[in-house]
Structure 1
């Protein structure tokens, strides 16, 4: 709480494509750390969002960025992927587009653009930016946190000088944050990874994955977490930007209880509610992140217009029991009840 300047040791997980600044504002109003996912935003959009945040609160903000290495051109993989999807295009009467999926890694231009914003916290997914950029961020006085999915990644992040490490368990919804090893067999559940990172590191550890209520928060703190990061539980809040179809899937226990890791939507493993595309293309050869997304986008749009989420990324953790369609500030206050007693 002292490190991040918040009342409660709770971070709202940045969820690209599912939220804007409204969710961060609501969470911040309740004393936790609101986060803005920036990987799909340009510099102007980030500046406008932060300006809106600053106008309404003096609370700290977390700006989150991806640190993936953009893939080299892979026309053969892309062609094979597009051909594999053609039957769906015909079925849905969808039209292919040539747009490239926007998933920007943090770079020098972005660092220059956000430096005047003086974000209190900057978080990274898929590793860290190059050392010179990382030092720029730290020179602003920003605290740096980043995701680790293994003990080795946590040790690497600590060696680079992060202020805290997020222990992203295998239960977590959305994209896996791994960056040292692509072998998913090394990935651990939150309550296996968390105590190992706590024992191995000298910096604070933030638990993420399967944290959905006051009881799971208490369990994480008992295992040594200094804070928790909560994502899935916020998805049904009115401040998110997800579709009605997405909301229906999250609210359906028969659907939200079945999640899996998939690469079909972006080219990188991410956990979501299982749907038709995930099941039928589980063994497909898929272009690297983020190239796969552009071919799927028209299918998603066409299917959603026809009332189907069969081709939509329904990111969700393994425990959706905490999802509630209530204001995010109210949900935040319920999550931190254990700290108020």
Structure 2
């Protein structure tokens, strides 16, 4: 994959929608790795602004990431029951829950305005999560010369990515923070570790593999390459960086390190630092939770109500299993530290 050849360190910063900023992505790319922006929650107008801001800060390649989820399977009774379940919490914070839920994030598969933004801004690398774009979208993005990669959590997903003609695969292990990239969240999940997934995919595809999940230090990058990956993707390691959008509470919680995988915050499985939100959702069966991204509409409203009363434990504090090893510093310093550790490993 040609974009990897130009990196001083075989490292991708995870896109981390809501946390990665233009300043973070640019700093990582300027330091010799590949910075990234998560655009799944930005909308076309917001995405255009973020891309152009990043391009103003660096002339080096960076990655933009898009969600390719299926439209929500709306169920008014299920959504009403989920709202009712949360009503006592809202009341505790002197607020009322929303009467109905909205599908707050549009899938790239349905978003031709986002496609036009990409055609106009021409980012060097474009990645996909939760599935794959339409074939006509892929064809259009190939015309601008973009390197195209997608997340796989299984061999079947990796084979679908290869069949679609993409350039690389992010092999997302069970340890990874944030949303599980599984194409169909209701399908069985083998929950393969990052190492097991990389080794398995290395036996069935020639596409470059980017290991993701639980990797925090330069020695982890070296281990990932020993498993057969061409590069490693780190996300949680960058959350406490100066340029990150994570708030002070989010940064402070990393030191605790305990994470859980839950579908209850957004409607899709995602790994989050344990907090009051994850404790509240612990007993919820997947069939109770409103569909993605409608559940996230409720979660965001609940977090806003809690924060208005000084309670910060209801945020979506996405994190991988290596959270306790996160090191606060500017992104360029972190990339330099990772490079030194990688060289010494």
Q: Give per-residue Cα distances to partners, 1:191-222, cap 9 Å, x unaligned.
A: 11111111111110000001100111111111
Deviation at 1:25, TM superposition (A): 1.0
Distance 1:181 1:150 in 2: 12
- Indicate if the aligned counterparts of 1:10 and 1:32 stay in contact, CA closer than 8 A: yes
What residue number does 1:102 align with? 104
Q: Which residue of 2 aligns with 1:60?
A: 61
Matches within 5 A, 1:84-99: 84-97=85-98
| Consecutive unaligned residues in structure 1, runs of 5 or more | none
- Residue among 284, 305, 311 paired with 2:308: 305
CA distance in 2, matches of 1:274, 1:41: 26
- Identify the residue that residue 39 of structure 2 maps to in structure 1: 38
Q: Which residue of 2 aligns with 1:177?
A: 181
Within 5 Å, give how 1:158-169 maps onto structure 2.
Answer: 158-169=162-173
TM-superposed deviation, 1:72: 3.4
Instruction: Give the TM-score normalised by the residue count of structure 1.
Output: 0.94
Specify the alignment match of 1:267 in structure 2. 267
Task: Tell me how far 1:237 sits from its aligned partner.
Answer: 0.8
1:91-170 pair list within 5 angstroms: 91-97=92-98, 100=102, 102-106=104-108, 107-170=111-174
Calculate the aligned-residue CA RMSD, in Å. 1.7
Q: Do 1:214 and 1:337's aligned partners in 2 also have CA atoms closer than 8 Å?
A: yes
- Does residue 298 of structure 2 align to residue 295 of structure 1? yes
TM-score using structure 2 length: 0.93
For the Cα contact (< 8 Å) 2:72–2:103, is it kept in 1? no
SS at match of 2:254: helix
Deviation at 1:249, TM superposition (A): 0.7
What's the secondary structure of 1:48's corresponding residue?
Answer: helix
How many residue pairs match? The answer is 337
CA contact under 8 A between 1:94 and 1:298: conserved in structure 2?
Answer: no
Q: 1:324 aligns with which of 324, 327, 338?
A: 327
Distance in structure 1 (CA, Å) of the matches to 2:184 and 2:135? 16
Provide the C-alpha distance between the structure 2 equivalents of 1:286 and 1:134, rounded to a whole number of angstroms.
Answer: 32
Aligned to 2:289: 286
SS in 1 for 2:323: coil
Listed as ranges, the matches of 1:1-20 within 5 Å are 2-4=2-4, 5-20=6-21
Deviations 1:296-320 (A, max 9, x none): 2222112223333332111110111
Deviation at 1:143, TM superposition (A): 0.5
**CA shift for structure 1 position 245:** 1.3
CA distance in 2, matches of 1:148, 1:274: 25
Q: Which runs of 4+ in 1 moved over 6 A?
A: none
2:340 counterpart (319, 323, 337): 337
Gaps of 5+ in 2: none
Inter-CA distance 134–250: structure 2 relative to 1 (3 Å threshold) = same
